Amino acid sequence: MNDLVRQHTALSDSDLEWLHLLVSEWQLLSDLSFADLVLWVPTLDGTRYVSVAQMRPNTGPTSYQDDMVGHLVPRGRRPLLDAALDEGRIVREGDPEWREEVPVRVESIPVRREGRVLGVIARNTNLLTVRTPSRLELTYLQSASDLAQMIAAGTFPFPGEQVDMDSSPRAGDGLVRMDAEGIVQYASPNALSAYHRLGLAADLVGQHLGQITAELAPSRGPVDEALVTLASGYAPREFEVEGNSGVIQLRAIPLKPKGTRIGSLVLLRDVTELRRRERELITKDATIREIHHRVKNNLQTVAALLRLQSRRMDSAQGREALDEAVRRVGSIAIVHETLSQNLDERVEFDEIADRVIAMVAEISPGPISCRRNGRFGILDAEVATPLSMVLTEILQNALEHAFAPGEEGAVEVTAVRGESRADARLLITVQDDGRGLPEGFDPKRAGNLGLQIVRTLVEGELGGSFDMLPGSGRGTKVVLDIPVRPQK
């Protein structure tokens, strides 16, 4: 629509916004009319019309098999468009048109904004299946007529009331028509079923919808006057009402075809099952977060017990082994703590990496600086947990073996995230400027327990590759290449 309006017409941006608002609402008009809608806007030179939007009904057969958007027709070819645009009124005169052996009734509705007619809606009704209308169809058609008059007067759609048509109730979900006092004149079968789900035992017709709705909604105090007003349709609002056994979503539309409120429409949908599933998901998410929180607490308890045992060890080698175990357990606890604060099983790993670096830096034998460059990004939990352990082991190994006691140095962790959807990978480099690798050292065959853990996790669990190389100049460089899921 934006391209067509700006290319062919003289409408301003505010006029275009009004058309967008109209198009966001006109599925309702199409369904109530059982008709196709095509929005025609006069071109810049005033000699033609361009169709900028189209809507087909969910309640009846279409009149157009082809897409009409983008078509141009000259003035004079469709007299009803000319009359509606020039006279600013709804035009219904004329015999039905025949399109591919299908009779079609054509009407034109001017689209008015602030006293100016911006364009014309052509309402096209397929008459092939016309029969004696039911009470529901008569109510639909009368409501459509009222909305058409409001469009022609510039009072519909309602300014500032942007509607999400994907989640908002539609005419087929349930419809209630009320008079100016809020008394129900007609309720569709779906609407009546929804109110029965709330607990209504009687019929809706003849009842005051606002009062009935407030009585069905559980309340410990007096009747909710705000709910009475909302359900009575005095203002355009969308809201939900929850009873003892159901939840319904309502949308109120005041009807003012001639400037004075004559009643209102309420569209409603039974969303009981939808809300129940949402609550189950919320409960599931809360349960998962609570599990991660408890796992974190248990891991911290295990780390504290190992720390206590380490302090009571006489053997320096045994004490060092227990301290390493404390750090390994602590790195896993950091991941579970982060997961306990998220709504899904994905974590921002940069924060975890920084905390692991700070934790391992506490064992530094001297003034060693540790820092991170680049971003790890968001990782799945099944990647973050083993990766945190791998990072802990590599940093711990660098600080223990690369530097002599009291020696100054630096360890730098660099992360480069590739985001190719076909092959998203994370390249991690840990570079130190220490003493370097021993002569003849083979990281795939030799190494302590920490390096064995790194190899097992990287190659077996993460499906990546691991290598240790001499650094540029001096020191050691550890390179990890890990496949990851693309970030959203």
Predicted confidence at residue 39, as pLDDT, reads 97
Predicted confidence at residue 474, as pLDDT, reads 81
End-to-end CA distance of the chain: 29
d(CA 376, CA 428): 8
Residue 378 pairs with which residues in a beta bridge? 348
Helix, strand, or coil here: 101?
Answer: coil
d(CA 9, CA 3): 10
Residues 6+ apart with CB under 8 A from 400: 363, 365
What percent of the chain is modeled with pLDDT above 70?
Answer: 95
Provide the phi-psi class of 123: left if phi over 0, else alpha when psi is between -120 and 50, else beta: beta
For range 74-93, the mean pLDDT: 93
Residues 6+ apart with CB under 8 A from 454: 390, 393, 394, 466
For range 84-104, the mean pLDDT: 86
d(CA 395, CA 329): 15
For range 316-327, the mean pLDDT: 83
pLDDT bin (cut points 50, 70, 90) of residue 282 is confident
The two tokens of residue 459 are 């190659």
d(CA 216, CA 107): 42
Mean per-residue pLDDT over the chain, rounded: 87
Q: Which of 381, 383, 377 is nearest to 346 (CA)?
A: 381
Q: Which of 27-41, 238-252, 276-290, 421-435 has the highest mean pLDDT?
A: 27-41
Q: Which of 152-156, 287-291, 336-340 has the highest mean pLDDT?
A: 152-156
Q: Which of 440, 443, 441 is nearest to 453 (CA)?
A: 443
Q: Which residue has the higher pLDDT, 385 or 166?
A: 385
Q: Say which range, 100-104, 213-217, 218-222, 318-322, has the weakest mean pLDDT.
A: 218-222
| Model pLDDT for residues 389-442, shown as the tens digit of each residue | 889 888 888 888 888 888 888 899 999 988 665 568 899 999 998 888 877 777
Helices (H), 9-98: 13-33, 79-87
Predicted confidence at residue 447, as pLDDT, reads 60
Predicted confidence at residue 206, as pLDDT, reads 95
Output phi, psi for 255, to 5 deg.
-105, 115
- The CA-based dihedral angle spanning residues 282, 283, 289, 293, taken in that order and rounded to the nearest 10 degrees: 150
Predicted confidence at residue 366, as pLDDT, reads 77
Residue pair 393/453 in contact by the 8 Å Cβ criterion? yes
| Model pLDDT for residues 137-195, shown as the tens digit of each residue | 999 999 999 999 999 999 999 987 766 767 889 999 999 999 999 999 999 999 999 99
Instruction: State yes or no: pLDDT of 358 exceeds 70.
Output: yes
| Model pLDDT for residues 444-459, shown as the tens digit of each residue | 766 677 788 888 888 8
What percent of the chain is modeled with pLDDT above 90?
Answer: 45
Instruction: State yes or no: pLDDT of 487 exceeds 80.
Output: no
Helix, strand, or coil here: 110?
Answer: strand
* Environment class of 386 (CB within 10 Å of its CB; exposed 0-12, middle 13-18, buried 19+): buried
* Cα 215 to chain centroid, rounded: 34
Residue pair 391/413 in contact by the 8 Å Cβ criterion? yes
Q: Which of 26, 20, 46 is nearest to 38 (CA)?
A: 26
Q: Which of 37, 30, 31, 49 is nearest to 118 (CA)?
A: 49
Instruction: State yes or no: pLDDT of 224 exceeds 70.
Output: no
Predicted confidence at residue 220, as pLDDT, reads 47
Output phi, psi for 409, to 5 deg.
180, -175
Instruction: State yes or no: pLDDT of 100 exceeds 90.
Output: no
User: DSSP assignment, residue 419?
Assistant: -
Return the sign of the alpha-carbon dihedral for residues 106, 107, 112, 116. positive
d(CA 54, CA 51): 8
Q: Which of 200, 198, 205, 158 is nearest to 179 (CA)?
A: 205
Predicted confidence at residue 165, as pLDDT, reads 67
Residue pair 408/367 in contact by the 8 Å Cβ criterion? yes
Residue pair 41/54 in contact by the 8 Å Cβ criterion? no
| Model pLDDT for residues 290-304, shown as the tens digit of each residue | 887 888 888 888 888
